[in-house]
Amino acid sequence: MSEQKQGLLLIVSGPAGSGKGTVLRQLMSDPRYVYSVSATTRHPRPEDKEGVTYYFFTREQFLSKVEKGEMLEYTQYVGNYYGTPKEKVSHALREGKNVILEIETDGAMQVKKLMPDAVSVMLLPPDYATLEGRLRGRGTEDEETILKRLKTAVDEVALCDRYDYIIVNETGKSEQAVQRLREIVAVEQLRPERDPDFKARFFAKG
C-alpha cells in the first residue's frame, strides 16, 4: 500500500496504574507518531507552553468551537473546559502521522462516535492486585485519596470491553505493550476501507 496514506487516530485510555505514561513516552520516540495536544480555557502556568502542553483558548473561543462541531470531545473540570480541536487532529492525519489521543473513557467514546475510523485501545495492568499495588506503591497519598483513585480506576476497567483492543501491560514489560500498539497500527492499516484507491492503483500498473 502507498506510503502517503492517511495516518491513524489512536485513542488510548488506561487507569492510573496501567503504566500508560511510560508506554506512550516510548511510542512517541517514533517520528511517525504525534501526540494530540488538548485545548483548555484554564490560565497558563509558568511551565506551560502554547501548543505543547496545551492550546490556550478563551472561554468564547472554546465554546464557539464546540458550537461549530469543531471539538472532537470536551469536558468541564473545576470551572475550566478541556477538549480536542478537530482541525489539529485532522491536519496531522492528512500528513500521514498517527495521532495519539490520550483520553479518559468518556472522551474516548465521544471521539469514537465522531470519528469511527479511530482505533481505541485500553491499556491495563495484569490484574486488580497489581493495579492496587501500583497505586499504593507511590506511598504519597492518604487512604481516602487512594480509595478514590482506586474507585475511578475500577470504573474505567469496567468499560474495557467498549474498546477495540485491550493491551495488558505486564510488570516490567512496557516494551511489549509498545510493540503491541505498533502492531495494532500496522494491522489496522491493512484494512481495505483505509485505502479505497488500492484497486485502482493495482490495476493501473498493468
List of residues contacting its own copies (CB under 8 A): 1, 124, 126-130, 132, 157-158, 160-168, 180, 183-184, 186-188, 190-193, 195, 198-199, 201-206
Quick one: 35 or 198, whose CB is closer to its own copies? 198
Strands (E) located in the chain:
9-13, 33-35, 39-40, 55-56, 71-77, 80-85, 98-102, 119-124, 165-168
Q: Which of 114, 112, 96 is nearest to 104 (CA)?
A: 112
CB 96 within 8 A of CB 4: yes
Cβ contact 83:75 at 8 Å: yes
* Least Å from the CB of residue 36 to its own copies: 22
Please identify, using beta-carbon distances, which residue of 114 and 158 lies nearer to its own copies: 158
Element (H, E) at 7: none
* Nearest CB to its own copies, comparing residues 44 and 126: 126
Nearer to its own copies, 28 or 158 (CB): 158
Q: How far is the CB of 15 from its own copies (least distance, A)?
A: 11
Q: How far is CA 41 from CA 60, 74, 149, in A?
A: 9, 11, 25
**Residue from 73, 61, 81, 62 nearest 11 by CA:** 73
C-beta of 88 vs 149, nearer to its own copies: 149
State in angstroms the smallest separation of the CB of 128 from its own copies: 4
How far from each other are the two terminal CA atoms of the chain, in whole angstroms? 16
Least distance to its own copies, CB of residue 130, Å: 8
Nearest residue to 70 via CA among 89, 82, 87, 91: 87
Minimum separation from the CB atom of position 4 to its own copies (A) = 15
Q: Measured from the CB atom, is 15 or 83 closer to its own copies?
A: 15
Whether the Cβ atoms of residue 73 and residue 110 lie closer than 8 Å to each other: yes
Give me the least distance between CB of 137 and its own copies, in Å please. Answer: 16
